[in-house]
Amino acid sequence: MNINRPADNPIVLPGMRVKTSERPPPRRVHGLSWLPPAIRNHIIAMLGEFTGTFLFLFFAFAATQVANTAPPSSQKPNVAVLLYISLAFGFSLAVNVWVFFRISGGVFNPAVTLGLCLIGAVGWIRGFLIILTQMVGAIAAAGIVSCLFPGPLNVRTTLGPDTSIVRGLFIEMFLTAQLIFTIFMLAAEKHKGTFLAPVGIGLCLFIAELAGVYFTGGSLNPARSFGPDVILHTFNGYHWIYWVGPALGALLAVALYRLIKALEYETANPGADFNKPDAEVFYPDEDPGAGRRGHHSSGYDGTTEACITPHAPTIALPTPSSTGGHLSRSRLQSIAGQTASEYSTSPDHRSHHSLGEDTYNKAPGAEEGNLGLPH
C-alpha cells in the first residue's frame, strides 16, 4: 500500500485532496516556537507518554472490567478470564508502543523509565517528567473506564488466595525484571530487528501476565496499580509492593544488562545480526595456529574466486564499540584480511547491508541515550 504524507486539513472530503508536490510545508505550533528546543522536546515527550499510557491502560482496563464482570463460580482460577486479561495487556502494549515509539519512546511504565534512566538511555529530567505524566495518564484511563462501563470499577491489582506479601513482592520483581530486560535488548540495544521491538515487548508482557495475574494482579507497572486505586480511593496495606517490586525488578534488569555488556556479549554470537556473507567475514578464525585464511567471493559474472591473505596473524576476538556491537569498516577489514575493493565488488553484500560506515556507525546503543526505535 502506498501511503502519502497526511494532509494538513483537519478533515479531507472528496475533491479536497491536494497532490503531495503541491502541498505547502506542514504548519507548526507557533505558540511553542519561542521555547528552547530542549524544553519543547520535553513537552512533546510528555504529551506522547500521557496519550500512550492512557490508550495502553484504557484498553487493558476495559478488557479487565469485562472479564471480571461475571461473578466467579469458585475460588479456582478461571483460565479463560486470565488469558483474556493477559491478551488485552500484551496486545494493547504492543500496539501503543509501536504507535508512540517515535514520539516519546513508548515507555508507559515508571519502572521501565527508571531502568532506562539508570542505563543512560533516558535523561533524568526527561525521566522524571514522563513518570509524572504516566501516572496522570493511568488515572485518566481508570477514570474514563469507570465512567464508560457499567458496574463498579474492577481493575485493581490485589494479591490472590494464599499469596503472601513477600511472595507478591518477589513475583512482581522477577516479572518486571523480565519485561525491562526485554526492552533493553530489543529497543535500547540496536540491531536489525529493532523495528520489531514492540512485538517482542508486547509478547513479553503477555507471558508475564499469564504467570502473575492470578497471584498479584500482574501489575509490573506502578502506574497500572496507582491509577485505579486513586479513582476508587482505595489503597490496600500492601499497595507498596506494586512500587517496590517493579523498582527492584528494574535494578535486577540493569545489573544483568551491565553484566553482559561488561562480558562483551557481542563477541559470544557475533554473526547473529548479520546476513550470511557478513557473518562469514565477521567470525574470527577458530584455529589460532592457522597461517593463512581463505575467503571465497562471487564475482558479477557468477564465477567464484578465492581471496587468500598470506601469513595472516592470529585473529583475536573483536572488541565491541559503544554502539552495541556494530564495528567499523576498518575493523572488519582487519578481521577478514580483505581490502576495501573486495567489499565494494562482492555482490553478496547487498546495498542495504553494506559494510560501510553508514551501517556500522549509525546505530548508537543505550549508553549514548538513543532509545527511540529506527525510523
Cα torsion 282, 286, 291, 294 to 10°: value is -50
| Same domain (yes/no): 258, 282 | no
Grid cell, residue 118, equals 539508570
Question: Which pTM was predicted?
Answer: 0.64
| Same domain (yes/no): 248, 358 | no
| Same domain (yes/no): 159, 57 | yes
| Structural domain includes residue 304 | yes
Q: Do 47 and 105 form a contact (C-beta atoms < 8 A)?
A: no
Environment class of 170 (CB within 10 Å of its CB; exposed 0-12, middle 13-18, buried 19+): middle
Amino acid at 195: F
| Structural domain includes residue 23 | no
Residue of 241, 242, 178, 247 whose CA lies nearest to 206: 178
pLDDT per residue as tens digits for the range 249-290: 999 999 999 988 888 887 777 777 765 555 555 555 544 444
Domain containing residue 47: CATH number: 1.20.1080.10
| Same domain (yes/no): 183, 298 | no
| Same domain (yes/no): 208, 291 | no
Number of domains into which the chain is organized: 2
| Same domain (yes/no): 160, 87 | yes
Q: Do 49 and 56 form a contact (C-beta atoms < 8 A)?
A: no
| Same domain (yes/no): 106, 205 | yes
Domain extent at residue 309: 276-368
| Structural domain includes residue 113 | yes
| Structural domain includes residue 286 | yes
Print pLDDT tens along the chain (375 aa): 344 444 555 444 555 555 656 656 655 555 667 788 888 888 878 877 887 788 788 777 867 876 776 555 555 667 788 899 999 999 999 999 999 988 888 999 999 999 999 999 999 999 999 999 999 999 999 999 999 999 899 999 999 888 899 999 999 999 999 999 999 999 998 888 889 999 999 999 999 998 889 889 999 999 999 999 999 999 999 999 999 999 999 999 999 999 888 888 877 777 777 655 555 555 555 444 444 444 444 443 444 444 444 444 444 444 444 444 444 454 444 444 444 444 444 444 444 444 444 444 444 455 555 555 434
Which residue, of 215, 237, 263, is where some domain finishes? 263
Which residue, of 205, 237, 263, is where some domain finishes? 263
| Same domain (yes/no): 338, 203 | no
Please report the DSSP string for 132-157 in residue order.
Answer: HHHHHHHHHHHHHHHHHSSSS-----
Provide the pLDDT for residue 20: 54
| Same domain (yes/no): 280, 254 | no
Which residue, of 233, 263, 293, is where some domain finishes? 263
